[in-house]
Chains A and B, each alone.
Chain A
Amino acid sequence: MDNTLSVPAPKRRSSLGKLSPSFRVGGVIVLLVVLAALASLARPLQDPNRANFGKQFAPPSAEFWLGTDQLGRDLASRLLAGAHNALYVGLIAVGIGLVLGSLLGILAGYLGGWLDQIVMLGLEALYALPALLLALLLAAVFGPGAFSSMVAIGVAAVPAFARLARAGVLAVKAQPYVEAAQALGATSSRIMFRHVLPNILGPLIVQASLAFAGAILAEAALSYLGLGTQPPTASWGRMLREAQSYLAAGLSPYPSIWPGLAIALTVLGFNLMGDGLRDRLDPRAKT
């Protein structure tokens, strides 16, 4: 059975063989979440916002695979829609952190001098304001919502990316190929983004995967507090917020159980993928 696999593309197989088990497990989980998010767009189940009165708090059944919530809405369908929301918020937030952080880190590391000092000081100050605090501030000003929470999570992720990028640039800056590019008269921006950036991407990609896990957790927490995604959009954190009082009253545990498991599984997937990527892409890191 197995030898049929090894024949067609030996080169690819050998590189796949190096991927650690944690990357494979994490990758499969992430793939499942992505598929769930895509599937939600096709609406394979009921509309996630359709209320079924008279069928509130139904246990899992053939009609409602995972049961229903306090409005009789299909939990399975809401869970899929929640995957879409989580990945959307995570993608934007990590995008903000990655782009802004890498840019600041590369500029600070490559140009050095007072710019470096100022950027580092700014990052130090940002460290004192984690995502939740930024989100509280933004919600106080602009009102709570998915936008505020995405910006807060993204900005809070900037320092980690910037530090990694800066450290990478400092290590790469003295390499002969950078010197060669400088001698050839390449502009600073060309050197930074054509020569330096590709060589420091590894750790940044690893961090992106780990930051994605953090963003999913943060989004869930913010939505749970009422600061993130607003109703009726299905969000895992928001679902837990709405389910809580019914759980405490002993009505139905299902609306409280599934979203938490979905969050945990997704976070686990991105964490494992990040760990696996680190073994592969970040030669300096120890396993």
Chain B
Amino acid sequence: MWTYTFRRLGLAILTLWLASTLVFMVVLFIPGDPVATILGMDANPDVAEKLRHDLGLDRPPLERYFSWLAGVATGDLGTSIRYGISVGGLILKSLTLTLPIVLLSLMLATVIAVPLGILAARRAGGALDFAASLFALLGLALPSFWVGLMFIYLFAVNLGWLPSNGFPQKGWADPLNALKYLALPVLTIGLARSALLTRMVRGSLLEVLSQDYVRTARGKGLSERVVVNKHALKNAALPVVTVLGLEFAQLLIAAVVVEQVFGLPGLGSLALTGIQARDYPLVQGVVLVLAMFIVALNLVVDLLYGYLDPRVSYG
């Protein structure tokens, strides 16, 4: 188990190193002079020279690469051109918005998907099962940002129940008010992501329910509730855990897009501001942090999977 954990950890670090190298290399391909692109052609030469130095463009690429890697390893992602402050600080601040959205959406998706998936599997082929399949198909096909737009039209424009845009100045100092601004985004993302999850729970449980030990449990005369809740669910949870990990990555991406629908100043809008300002240290930082989350989650899921299922070999 320990060898496996260390090997898996090593792979994750190697992956991160490769990803950060990719993120670094992109800048080498900027056509023309990046400083001229950022400041415009008729920029003050002194200002241009200072920016060139700040960005490290007056140093050879290999040296820049190593200082970038050293920065990534120590959590220093450089300085934003647009804001003039540390990229890490900007990202941390937007994470206080993006992470709650992601976590709340994941909770909502699970709360919807697990009971619905179980019900659909227990009555496989029935009307509820059909409805759940339809829900899953729709969830996969409907673009989440469009669903967000429709929610704005329904809940904010027509019914006037919830705010459609922005995040209060006071932020989390007034948590209830802050949550009101997150309600529609979380509903949008959570509903969309619960679709696939429902299908996974259903499929996984159906597979387990067809196994011999479940037949034995039924043969012993156990009630269907005990068979499902006590015997089948634990084993059916395994594939679902894997999917939850992958879901988290998808959720993160969905959150970046849906934030934009509701005008929330999270990671997504930070990256988009960066692109408009050609602030590539900022964009690189956001992309790298998101990639780190994805790698870390894959790692956690792999380790958790081995822990939950003793049959998994660590070969």
Contact = CB atoms under 8 A, between A and B. Distances in A.
Interface in A173-218: 213, 217
B289 to A, nearest CB: 10
Contacts of A268: 137, 140-141
B291 A140 contact: no
Contacts of B22: 125, 129
Interface of A is mostly: helix
A247 B146 CA distance: 12
B16 interface: yes
Interface of B is mostly: helix
B131 to A, nearest CB: 16
A129 B291 contact: yes
B146 A260 contact: yes
Interface string B142-182: 11011101101100110000001100000000000000000
A130 interface: yes
B107 interface: no
A132 interface: yes
Interface string B180-201: 0000000000000000000000
A122, A130, A226, A257: most-surrounded residue (chain B CB, <10 A): A130
B23, B143, B153: most-surrounded residue (chain A CB, <10 A): B143
Given A137-B23, A248-B152, A130 B284 contact: no
A33 to B, nearest CB: 13
A224 B294 contact: no
Contact of B275 (A140, A220, A267): A140
Interface string B19-35: 10011001101110000
A264 B192 CA distance: 12
A125 B19 contact: yes
Contact of A128 (B15, B26, B278): B15
B283 A240 contact: no
A265 B138 CA distance: 9
A221 B143 contact: yes
Contact of B153 (A121, A140, A247): A247
Interface in B54-90: none
A124 B14 CA distance: 9
Interface in B261-281: 261, 268, 271-272, 274-275, 278-280
Interface of B: 11, 14-16, 18-19, 22-23, 26-27, 29-31, 137-138, 140-143, 145-147, 149-150, 152-153, 156-157, 164-165, 249, 253, 256-257, 260-261, 268, 271-272, 274-275, 278-280, 283-284, 286-287, 290-292, 294-295, 298
Given A128-B15, A248-B165, A267-B143, 12 more contacts: A124-B14, A129-B23, A129-B287, A137-B23, A138-B26, A141-B31, A221-B145, A244-B261, A253-B153, A260-B147, A260-B149, A264-B143
Interface of A: 121-122, 124-125, 127-130, 132-133, 136-142, 144, 213, 217, 220-221, 224-227, 237, 240, 243-244, 247-248, 250, 253, 256-257, 259-260, 263-265, 267-268, 271-272
